Amino acid sequence: MCGISGILNLGQAPAPSRSELEQMIHALQHRGPDGYGFFLDGPVGLAHARLSIIDLEGGDQPIHNEDCTVQVVFNGEIFNFLELREELQGRGHRFYTRSDTEVIVHLYEEYGDDFVLHLIGQFAIALWDARRQRLLLVRDRAGIRPLYYSIVQGRLYFASELKSLFTQPAVRRELDPVALGEVFTFWCPLEPHSLFRDVRALPPGQRMVVEGGNLSIDRYWDWTFPPGEIDDSRSVEDWAEELRELMIDAVRLRLRSDVPVGAYLSGGLDSSVITSLIHNFTDTALRTFSIGFEDDEFDESGFQQELVRYLDTDHTHVTCTREDIGRIFPKVIWHAESTILRTAPAPLMLLSRHVRESGYKVVLTGEGADEVFGGYDIFKEAKIRRFCHRDPDSELRPQILRRLYPYLKYSPASSGGAFGQQFFQQGMEYIDEPFFAHVPRWTTTRRSWKFFSPELKAAVSGKVDFESIRALLPPDINSWQPLNRDQYVENHTLLSGYLLNSQGDRMAMANSIEGRFPFLDHRVMEFAARIPPRYKIRVLNEKYLLKQSMAGLIPESIRQRNKQPYRAPDSQSFFQNGKAAEWVMDLLSESELRKAGHFNPVAVDKLLKKCATGRVIGFSDNMAFVGILSTMLLDKMFVQGYSSGTFT
Amino acid sequence: MSSEEKIREFILENYLFTDDQSELNNDDSFLDQGILDSTGILEIIFFIEDEFGIKIKDDEMVPDNLDSVNRIVAFIKRKQQE
């Protein structure tokens, strides 16, 4: 795992210089503290910050082919590099390192741009073909590793993080109002937007080619669910057996490393699956890490301890307090480089620090299982809402909604019959739309728009609404089964835009930790696309097939427990005894809000007062507060140029 | 301050986040106008119980009693007369 950056001239701009590349890559030192590498050749410059994990001695990048005509810098891991290397050697390619990086240049020689189809991994790659004077940028299928670019003043700048791009004066630091409107609706900027006007993200599963001054982007992979590929003929037992074998292999490949590998343990099903597979099917010594909370509402320490005892692991537990979250939040935003609506990334940054301090650089996690195997409440909620829609006059059907959200202290399902039902009846007019499941979430999130300044409202008006998602959807999505449509939308919004990015990559890399995600192995995802949806959610039993495949491998209490999503205290983290931290008061003062221009100071002041009372119990107020605070931090640090240390 | 004024102020301050009195009519439906979020009704119930010293039973948590300023005012009046 590492950071990459680079510059390519698209026309007559001056050639990239070593000092420009140094500025860019030094901004990514946290991603790669073990050394820098550079390549400069006429119109192109590549830079690399290394976190040494495989081939500690010989893996410095850039790495090249036999005659140095293909150069590559890359962030991530190619987990099947041993198999690929053997195959390539069989075809006559000569290797000068033991690194996974080197397979990329030889695969490119063999297969051209389709080399990426041979990779099992998580990666952001920049490859320079000197013969053809051509640059190729590629991002992994699920979007685990980030890659941003900006085309300004006749140059293409690219980097793993925006802060690297912002070292270049040509790249303007201006927040994009449309992207803000998107985050305050969908939880993330929609592909390919970033929060900043001049910067785009290369979306997951896509590659960019720049040749002869022309730039083109195509999608080489997508997670699709054509009904014809869903196999209805097999038994649950048959599917479960194949899944178990596939997961064992996905975990086995992700243990490949020349440094010790640990695992996160949340107490839920997903991380239990990963740790149990390591324990049962590999000879890796199991080292685990978990986070807990002082607040019972969020804490899962009991289940974590149960699994620790069951697997007898060497375990580190970190307790996160509300004060911890408030204290590190500015640093969280510095690394996330985005508005976020929940504080949940903060404890993960705290956890990755402990992993690093324990001498580990790599952890396996259960991220992705909910999206891939149907674990989220939003899927169950949509299933019930569709069931209710079939008989709108039924008084009994809506009663099932009460089974949702048992873990919430204050739940929409418990908030008085008629009022609770009203919440779930939102958006029934979208019943046939592929984003039907997401309408309640997006409606709740958009309530934050009432805090927008008149200027921001005007800038987003007519430019961001639920229809905005349509541009990202495949043309045949309406022919898919409902759960599969929900999964697709979830994958292209919450997973890639928020969970893998703000909460995943950035919170781990802030402390130079590499996360690895067996559930997001594309073979696992493609397998999941073939399963009949009824085996993912059996009645209202989420991740049913995954649970079946793990029978006997994890404690029954964990296998059968209701899912508790990972959450952290939100607005409460910034108040003590009814008073906000000083930096919060300063940042949300009328003068600062007016200077930034994004929010209405009168409305924000009332929200601040409401939060101070401790009466904020709903999602929408909490999301608005965290969203406004993070946007103001983003503005202060990235637009106005303050460091994250200013706020602590 | 009258019951009506207290309730109006609570709604304006905590759900509409404004001082602009014209943004709330006493007959506006909280549900239809999207004034409350999914848990907002619980916050209103806590407020009414604390502020007016009454206890709201489960079967009283219905839109007929709680879905507008006027309905809440009438409901509190009925409860206080019980």
pLDDT digits over A412-435, tens only?
Answer: 555 556 666 666 677 889 999 999
B34 pLDDT band, cuts 50/70/90, is confident
Contact A17/A64 with Cβ under 8 angstroms? no
- Separation CA A406–CA A54 (nearest Å): 44
Distance to chain B for A518, nearest Cα, Å: 35
When CB atoms are compared, the residue of A606, A615, A618 closest to B38 is A618
Residue type (1 letter), A99: S
- Separation CA A616–CA A625 (nearest Å): 10
Which pLDDT does position A215 carry in this prediction?
A: 96
Distance to chain A for B54, nearest Cα, Å: 17
Which pLDDT does position A562 carry in this prediction?
A: 77
Mean pLDDT across A277-299 = 91
Do residue A618 and residue B39 have CB atoms under 8 angstroms apart?
A: yes
Give A198's DSSP letter. T
Do residue A606 and residue B18 have CB atoms under 8 angstroms apart?
A: yes
Contact A317/A304 with Cβ under 8 angstroms? yes
- Separation CA A386–CA A364 (nearest Å): 36
Q: Pick the residue from chain A with its C-alpha nearest to B56.
A: A416
Residue A44 pairs in a beta bridge with: A8, A41
Contact A75/A2 with Cβ under 8 angstroms? yes
Q: What residue has token string 């009645």?
A: A539
3-state secondary structure of A153: coil
Residue B36 contacts A where some CB pair is shorter than 8 Å? yes
Contact A588/A571 with Cβ under 8 angstroms? no
Distances (CA, A) of A480 to A99, A344, A379, A487: 41, 32, 15, 11
Do residue A450 and residue B17 have CB atoms under 8 angstroms apart?
A: yes
Number of A–B residue contacts, CB under 8 Å = 72
Phi and psi (nearest 5°) for A154? Answer: 75, 15
Other beta carbons within 10 Å of A396: 8
Distance to chain A for B6, nearest Cα, Å: 16
- Separation CA A348–CA A329 (nearest Å): 11
The DSSP line for A88-128 is HHHTT---SS--STHHHHHHHHHHGGGGGGG--EEEEEEEE
When CB atoms are compared, the residue of B39, B43, B58 closest to A412 is B39
Q: Which residues contact A137 (CB under 8 A, 6 or more apart)?
A: A124, A125, A126, A127, A147, A149, A158, A202, A207, A208, A210
- Separation CA A319–CA A347 (nearest Å): 9
Do residue A419 and residue B13 have CB atoms under 8 angstroms apart?
A: no
Contact A191/A41 with Cβ under 8 angstroms? no
Bigger pLDDT: A213 vs A183: A183
The answer to whether residue A51 scores a pLDDT higher than 90 is no
Distance to chain A for B45, nearest Cα, Å: 10
Which pLDDT does position A615 carry in this prediction?
A: 76
Q: Pick the residue from chain A with its C-alpha nearest to B14.
A: A610
Radius of gyration, CA atoms only, chain A = 24
Which pLDDT does position A580 carry in this prediction?
A: 95
When CB atoms are compared, the residue of B13, B38, B46 closest to A423 is B38
Give A455-469 pLDDT, tens digit per residue: 999 999 999 999 999
Residue B21 contacts A where some CB pair is shorter than 8 Å? no
* ipTM passes above 0.85: yes
Distance to chain B for A454, nearest Cα, Å: 14
Do residue A606 and residue B62 have CB atoms under 8 angstroms apart?
A: no
Reported as type and span, the H/E element at residue A370 is helix A369-373
When CB atoms are compared, the residue of B14, B58, B61 closest to A610 is B14
Q: Which residues contact A564 (CB under 8 A, 6 or more apart)?
A: A268, A300, A407
Give B16-30 pLDDT, tens digit per residue: 999 999 999 999 999
- Separation CA A108–CA A168 (nearest Å): 30
Q: Which of A401, A414, A415, A419 to mutate to test the interface with B (most CBs of B within 10 A)?
A: A419
Among the listed residues A558, A549, A593, the one whose alpha carbon sits nearest the alpha carbon of residue A240: A549
Which pLDDT does position A413 carry in this prediction?
A: 59
Q: Which percentage of chain A shows pLDDT scores above 90?
A: 81
Contact A35/A56 with Cβ under 8 angstroms? no
- Separation CA A479–CA A227 (nearest Å): 7
Reported as type and span, the H/E element at residue A425 is helix A417-425
Distances (CA, A) of A97 to A33, A56, A57, A64: 20, 10, 9, 10
Tokens (6 digits) for B71: 């309905």
Give A194-232 pLDDT, tens digit per residue: 999 999 999 999 999 999 989 999 999 999 999 999 999
Residue B34 contacts A where some CB pair is shorter than 8 Å? yes
Of A114-123, A395-404, A488-497, the poorest mean pLDDT is in A395-404
The DSSP line for A306-369 is HHHHHHT-EEEEEEE-HHHHHHHHHHHHHHH-S--S-STHHHHHHHHHHHHHTT--EEE--TTH
- Separation CA A426–CA A440 (nearest Å): 6
Which pLDDT does position B43 carry in this prediction?
A: 86
Which pLDDT does position A412 carry in this prediction?
A: 58
Q: What residue has token string 């069951």?
A: A310
Total residue length of chain A: 648
Which pLDDT does position A391 carry in this prediction?
A: 80
The answer to whether residue A563 scores a pLDDT higher than 90 is no
Of A145-149, A462-466, B61-65, the poorest mean pLDDT is in B61-65
The CATH classification of domain B3-81, taken from the options 1.10.1200.10, 3.30.365.10, 3.30.390.10, 3.40.50.2300: 1.10.1200.10
Residue A621 contacts B where some CB pair is shorter than 8 Å? yes
Do residue A617 and residue B39 have CB atoms under 8 angstroms apart?
A: yes
Q: Which residues contact A629 (CB under 8 A, 6 or more apart)?
A: A329, A574, A584, A587, A588
Q: Pick the residue from chain A with its C-alpha nearest to B61.
A: A416
Other beta carbons within 10 Å of B73: 18
Residue type (1 letter), A628: I
Q: Pick the residue from chain B with its C-alpha nearest to A613.
A: B14
Of A182-196, A396-410, A542-556, B39-53, the poorest mean pLDDT is in A396-410
Tokens (6 digits) for A489: 């939308």
The answer to whether residue B67 scores a pLDDT higher than 80 is yes
- Cis amide linkage into residue A192, ω under 30° from 0: yes
Residues on chain B touching A412 (C-beta within 8 angstroms): 38-39
The answer to whether residue A350 scores a pLDDT higher than 70 is yes
Cα A275-A306-A144 angle, rounded to 5 deg: 30
Of the residues A2, A188, A388, A611, which is catalytic? A2
Bigger pLDDT: A298 vs A595: A595
* Cβ-count burial A94-127 (b if 16+ within 10 Å, e if not): ebeebbbbbbbbbbbbeeebebbebbbbbbbbbb
Residues on chain B touching A444 (C-beta within 8 angstroms): 37-38
The structural domains of chain A, ordered by start, are: 2-176+197-219 (3.60.20.10), 222-327+340-434+473-566 (3.40.50.620), 571-647 (no CATH)
3-state secondary structure of A157: strand
Q: What is the mean pLDDT of chain A?
A: 93
The answer to whether residue B48 scores a pLDDT higher than 90 is yes
- Separation CA B57–CA B70 (nearest Å): 19
Of A29-38, A65-74, A396-405, the poorest mean pLDDT is in A396-405
When CB atoms are compared, the residue of A416, A606, A615 closest to B17 is A606
Q: Is the pTM of this model over 0.80?
A: yes
Reported as type and span, the H/E element at residue A135 is strand A134-139
Q: Annotated catalytic, A188?
A: no
Residue type (1 letter), A55: D
Distances (CA, A) of B23 to A346, A457, A618, B3, B4: 37, 17, 22, 18, 15
Q: Which residues contact A617 (CB under 8 A, 6 or more apart)?
A: A409, A410, B39, B42, B43
Mean pLDDT across A26-31 = 94
